[in-house]
Structure 1
Amino acid sequence: MGTRDDSDEAYVVGLCERILGESALAQHRFDWLLGDPGANGRRARPRRRHPDRRHRALKIAGSSGVPGPLLRSTLPTVPSIYRGPADRRRVRDWCLQRLGSWDVPHRRSEIRTEAGVTSVLLVGAEPVASSSTVVLVPGTNTNGAVCRHLTGALAARWPTVVLDVPGQPGLSADVRPRRGRSAWYGRWLTEALEQAVPGPALLVGHSLGGAVVLASDSPRIAGRLLLSSAGLVRLRVPMGVVAATVPWLARPTLPRSARLLRRMTAFDERVPDELTEWMTLVARSCRSSLAPPPLPPELLARRRSVPCVVATGRHDVFLPPQRLGSAAQRHLGARLHVLDDSGHLLLDESPDEVVALVARALASAYGDGA
């Protein structure tokens, strides 16, 4: 179970506060809901008696289906991204069906990590230890099944692996810790790379994926490409995006998903139907998943030892060039590349430009990007 601060209720209330410019009266106590005054003059909330106190415990079943020990309900520290088991199945079925319709050669496998099962999508040629592998780490609310156009373009030139991030909707484990997520994601990626690629890798991280890529210190990382990356600076959330997000969360529909997605594009353009369908499913089936805070400056300073290319869309509503550029230079010593015709959804808006940036990053890291 997640904390109240992590709930969809708290997220929507926070968005409404920003739109209205007023503070909500959260967790307010209504006197008329309390009991009559006692001998000491104080009112007590009526208590509901439970004849069986075993309701306080949860029976946890392992992956084998064998029941585990009884645990207090306050102990779980990894709330699921999904609202329930049926939602998890719906998301998984959607992703598998989407992958089944791809015309790009691919192979999916699963590996086990500290963070649980991780989906590994291999697109194109088989990676070998003697040459570079491009590893894509998607961002918030995305996964390999949603990245068909970009992965196909990458696989035409290099062996490409896509890792579904645990704790995000997709085909990897659905759990995530309440605290210390950056370090947890870093350990996950380091472990996943050891199993998923046989040699050095260029990591491509978008949005949340960029923060995950920065959090890992795996020796297999020969270079990083950060696309509209979290982890360097806090994301900016303009009122137009907030106004589109509230109805999308409150009552998800295809038109509302399309409206929100258009807010993230460069010119408020029409977005692909499959992306609109996906985001509608996410809002109906998943809990809120917010962007991570900036990583510690001392950690970012250590990442200077590996070549890094940083880029964002000129019209990115969350990480505009003027916001991300100074942070990239300050923390990583990297010059920001700006994609003129892109917003935050640059994986879908400008796949050819992203491929060119991958070639640039490979040339910087290995000298074999051409």
Structure 2
Amino acid sequence: MARWDYPADVPSIYRDVARQQRVRNWCLERLGEWDVPHLRHEVPTTAGVTSVITAGPDRTAAVPTVVLVPGTNTNGAVYRHIARALAAHWSTVVLDVPGQPGLSSDARPRRGRSAWYGQWLTEALEQTVPGPALVVGHSLGGAIVLASASPQIAGRLLLSSAGLVRLLVPPAVVAATVPWLARPTMPRAARVLRHMVAPGGRVPAELAEWMTVVARCCHSSLAPAPLPPALLADRQSVPCLVATGRHDVFLPPRRVGPAVHRHLGTTLHVLDSSGHLLLDEAPDDIVTLVGRAVAACPGDGE
């Protein structure tokens, strides 16, 4: 499997080539079984090759393309269900983030990741979207969406977004994470994920399976630091909706709400029955929020 020629300070996220192939096989098998009409192709960027999934109706000039940027340890194969929901309404693109497990490049830099990821998204949009885009970012994906200054971005929807405040990591999450990383099993992965959903919420079996594969095959990354206030202030030039779950263990509303108002000049939407995994817990709410964000984009409408 070919890799881009990275400098020495940009290591692979995979433990070895065999486990990289295992991750690719898992993703390709899920996409191969997917019953939603879609196309997958790859584009080159300075961050490495990027896997792109397109689905939904043909784009029209009046409506921006919806572009989903997944968060840490996730990708388009994991989020087929939300891609299906979005593609039922809009022309939809899902990008696998380089440096995260999936079908994109296997390397991420040790330093300067925010600028690196921002440039990557700008380049990916240039090659995959012919006009304006509503970019939807979850968790790490939200920070990437904020880091990009692409002129194609007509609106942003940030879901449980990093980049605004530092994430909390409660001791109970650490206690569940250590054994999951030390000896990954599906029950241990589910125990970690249970902290990320609302009390009594269901942990999807496939997500627990995927996170077991991730722990066995990959070196996970830490959450990004908050972006500079001046950069965040610049992002007020296009409409931005921000949402988090009432029970988000990493980004509770009491921390995120003031930062959203201070840096982005808008109000936080709180989803009462959700935790951190909004794409899994509240797909209908996400579709509603995307509809609002599309309507808020200049000159757009369904």
Q: Which structure 2 residues correspond to residues 128-277 of structure 1 after superposition, within 5 A?
A: 128-277=60-209
1:269 positional shift: 2.8
What does residue 249 of structure 2 align with?
317
1:230 positional shift: 0.2
What does residue 43 of structure 2 align with?
111
- Larger Cα Rg: Structure 1 or Structure 2? 1
Question: Conserved in 2, the CA contact under 8 Å of 1:363 and 1:369?
Answer: yes
Question: Conserved in 2, the CA contact under 8 Å of 1:129 and 1:198?
Answer: no
1:317 positional shift: 0.3
Distance in 2 between residues matched to 1:269 and 1:295, nearest whole Å: 31
Q: Using structure 2 for the length normalisation, give the TM-score.
A: 0.97
What does residue 278 of structure 2 align with?
346
Are 1:299 and 2:267 an aligned pair? no
Q: Please, which of 80, 89, 109 is the counterpart of residue 21 of structure 2?
A: 89
Equivalent residue letter for 1:342: S
Distance in 1 between residues matched to 2:18 and 2:150, nearest whole Å: 36
The root-mean-square deviation of aligned C-alpha atoms, in Å, is 1.6
Are 1:290 and 2:290 an aligned pair? no
Distance in 2 between residues matched to 1:155 and 1:122, nearest whole Å: 9
1:106 positional shift: 1.0
Distance in 2 between residues matched to 1:228 and 1:62, nearest whole Å: 34
What does residue 121 of structure 1 align with?
53
1:149 positional shift: 1.3
Distance in 1 between residues matched to 2:33 and 2:205, nearest whole Å: 15
Question: Conserved in 2, the CA contact under 8 Å of 1:222 and 1:307?
Answer: yes
Distance in 2 between residues matched to 1:143 and 1:62, nearest whole Å: 20
Distance in 2 between residues matched to 1:204 and 1:175, nearest whole Å: 23
Most deviating of 356-365 and 119-128? 119-128
**SS of residue paired to 2:77:** helix
**SS of residue paired to 1:338:** strand
Equivalent residue letter for 1:124: G
Question: Conserved in 2, the CA contact under 8 Å of 1:316 and 1:344?
Answer: yes
Q: Please, which of 322, 334, 339 is the counterpart of residue 266 of structure 2?
A: 334
Question: Conserved in 2, the CA contact under 8 Å of 1:309 and 1:334?
Answer: yes
Distance in 2 between residues matched to 1:84 and 1:129, nearest whole Å: 45
**SS of residue paired to 1:152:** helix
1:132 positional shift: 1.1
What does residue 76 of structure 1 align with?
8
Which ranges of structure 2 fall in alignment gaps of 5 or more residues? Answer: none
Equivalent residue letter for 1:218: S
Question: Conserved in 2, the CA contact under 8 Å of 1:237 and 1:317?
Answer: yes
Question: Conserved in 2, the CA contact under 8 Å of 1:360 and 1:369?
Answer: no
Distance in 2 between residues matched to 1:128 and 1:360, nearest whole Å: 18
Distance in 2 between residues matched to 1:312 and 1:80, nearest whole Å: 31
Question: Conserved in 1, the CA contact under 8 Å of 2:3 and 2:105?
Answer: no
Distance in 1 between residues matched to 2:237 and 2:188, nearest whole Å: 43
CA deviations on 1:139-195 (whole Å, 9 max, x unpaired) are 000000011111111100000000000000000001111100000000100000000
Equivalent residue letter for 1:99: L
1:288 positional shift: 2.2
CA deviations on 1:58-92 (whole Å, 9 max, x unpaired) are xxx9659xxx9xx9xxx602111111111110000
Which ranges of structure 1 fall in alignment gaps of 5 or more residues? Answer: 1-60
Question: Conserved in 1, the CA contact under 8 Å of 2:135 and 2:153?
Answer: yes
Distance in 1 between residues matched to 2:30 and 2:248, nearest whole Å: 27
Distance in 2 between residues matched to 1:260 and 1:62, nearest whole Å: 33
**SS of residue paired to 2:44:** strand
Percentage of matched positions with identical amino acids: 72
Q: Which of structures 1 and 2 has the larger relative contact order (alpha carbons within 8 angstroms, sep 6+)?
A: 2
Question: Conserved in 2, the CA contact under 8 Å of 1:359 and 1:369?
Answer: no
Q: Please, which of 293, 299, 302 is the counterpart of residue 361 of structure 1?
A: 293
Question: Conserved in 1, the CA contact under 8 Å of 2:66 and 2:90?
Answer: yes
Equivalent residue letter for 1:300: L
Taking a change above 3 Å as real, the CA distance of residues 342 and 367 of structure 1, as seen in their structure-2 partners, is farther
